[in-house]
Chains A and B, each alone.
Chain A
Amino acid sequence: MKNQKSIELLHQDYLKTLINKKRWIRFYQLVIFLLFFSSWELASQKDWIDQLIFSSPSKIWNLFIQKMNDGSLAMNVGVTLTETVVGFILGTFLGTLLAAILWWSPLLSDILDPYLVILNAMPKVALGPILIVALGPGFTSIIAMGAIISIIITTIVVYTSFKEVDPNYVTVLKTFGATRVQCFREAILPASFPTIISTLKVNVGLSWVGVIVGEFLVSAKGLGYMIIYGFQVFNFTLVMLSLLLIAVLATIMYQAVDLLEKKLIKNG
């Protein structure tokens, strides 16, 4: 009995030290955050850095409030966010689908191999002008940019993981007379789930690149447009505001995927 109690106490102590440690980490993270913004503000007010180029947190904040009030910010953020999410989902889905087709036909995958390598090595954003001409300067071509940038790499990574699934799982299914579709659904796909999720994380970042570049080129709406516009009229407060918003939104999206991963892996 006594022993039991002392172990319980020790365990509580252990948990306490864990919580303490976490608190300290959070504290230092906050310190870095505050230090960064306050020294930025200070440097800007004391003219240690060029206000025209580097702006200052207070200026950005004022612009943020102003743009919030006239409704233009919400619209631009909405546009960019939709494009990114749709591009991201399309890229991941189509990439996985392509990987499934390659798995289905090993001959096709052997034939297409060099082309995949070429497409993967190709900087996809360079296709931007062609896409805009083909799909029109708007929503569609920007979404296409967000998707195309992640399709090939998703295909390659997911297909590799399909191939690396222990063939004996398929053998087990075959002893039960399973069809190829059943083998894919019961063994290949679920075994590759962790890989697919980890490509999601990479694709979040890639889709942002595709969409922002697309907006640079189309130059009509969105955060990418705000950056280009601010650059052209030399309003760097606008550029900084857009950058900060992109950082926040991309982080939120990444965290959402992370949450999804934790949920799926727990269930799986």
Chain B
Amino acid sequence: MDFLTINHIHHTYFTKSSATTALSDITLDVQEGEFISFLGPSGCGKTTLLSIVAGLIKPTEGKVELENRPIGDGDNKIGYMLQQDYLFPWKTIEENITLGLKMNQVLNDKTRSEALSLLHQMGLKGVESKLPRHLSGGMRQRVALVRTLATEPKLLMLDEPFSALDYQTKLKLEDLVSNTLKQFGKTAILVTHDIGEAIAMSDRIFLFSPQPGRLHKTFTIPEELRNLTPFKARNHRRFAELFQMIWKELEQLEEPEKY
């Protein structure tokens, strides 16, 4: 049984002056506990697809099912971390990370302290009572990640969660997120521009081509890389091989734009 099925999704954005087809005929499924990545040039519809899966926009065609039920059916628990952090500027960091718990009416001492300990694991101590504007971009991104993780969603969708981090923090967080998700058997979809990150973290990679967004190719990451933590996977012999392969595919996709 598939955990998540995305079935013949088309999406066109309509504005007064134009109609942009962002996605065309996307079909894929994700198994429970799987970690998958969406890779592709800017504007190929990755964010659009996540928004559709999250039930935030209705696709022009096609359907999405989570555990055989249409999404947006109430108790489906999807966590979605947007491309920008969108921390509430008037709320403290603690209020921000417990926002999801509060909305679901499950905020109590236990869930609060779990959220706070997650914050500490992300390397953010002593910021609980600060306001978002007192934090750097990378710190804010980690807070947004904690906010999404705190509700313990069954399906986690991350739109470029590590883009504002320095390289070292990024490697550390990759390991942390990957371990946490594996430990609890969570399913995750990651959007990234970083080929290395996609290889190191995922079980499968979906490569998208632009204009309109289509599923171009799927890469399955070999067993020996999957079992390693992202940091160790980066140093594996097969890693470089895969990197070259995906790099070439991406180059081919982006080539027509140059002329």
Q: In the complex, how many angstroms separate the beta carbon of B7 from the nearest chain A beta carbon?
A: 22
Q: Which residues of B contact A187 (CB under 8 A)?
A: 88
**Who on chain B is nearest to A179 by CB?**
B103
Q: Does A67 interact with chain B (Cβ within 8 Å)?
A: no
Asked if residues B86 and A176 are in contact (CB atoms below 8 Å), the reply is no
Stretch with Cβ within 8 A of B (4 or more), from A81-89, A167-175, A207-215, A237-245: A167-175
Asked if residues B103 and A178 are in contact (CB atoms below 8 Å), the reply is yes
Chain B residues numbered 103-125 whose CB sits less than 8 Å from any CB in chain A: 103-104
Asked if residues B84 and A168 are in contact (CB atoms below 8 Å), the reply is yes
Q: Which residues of A contact B104 (CB under 8 A)?
A: 176-177
Chain A residues numbered 164-195 whose CB sits less than 8 Å from any CB in chain B: 166, 168-169, 171-178, 182, 186-187, 190-191, 193
A187 to B90, CA, bound (A): 10
Known: A168-B82, A182-B103, A186-B99. A175 touches B88 (CB 8 A): no
A191 to B90, CA, bound (A): 8
Asked if residues B56 and A190 are in contact (CB atoms below 8 Å), the reply is no
**Who on chain B is nearest to A190 by CB?**
B90
Q: Which residues of A contact B148 (CB under 8 A)?
A: 175
Q: Which residues of A contact B103 (CB under 8 A)?
A: 173, 176-178, 182, 186
Asked if residues B90 and A175 are in contact (CB atoms below 8 Å), the reply is no
Chain B residues numbered 60-100 whose CB sits less than 8 Å from any CB in chain A: 74, 78-80, 82, 84, 86, 88, 90, 99-100
Q: Does A71 interact with chain B (Cβ within 8 Å)?
A: no
A182 to B78, CA, bound (A): 18
Please list the 7 inter-chain residue pairs (A to B) with the smallest Cβ-Cβ separation, ordered nearest first.
A176-B100, A176-B103, A175-B80, A178-B103, A268-B90, A168-B86, A172-B86
User: Which A residues lie at the B interface, using CB under 8 A?
Assistant: 166, 168-169, 171-178, 182, 186-187, 190-191, 193, 268
17 contacts between A and B (CB under 8 A): A166-B86, A169-B86, A171-B56, A171-B86, A175-B54, A175-B56, A175-B100, A176-B99, A176-B100, A176-B151, A177-B103, A178-B103, A186-B99, A187-B88, A190-B90, A193-B90, A268-B90
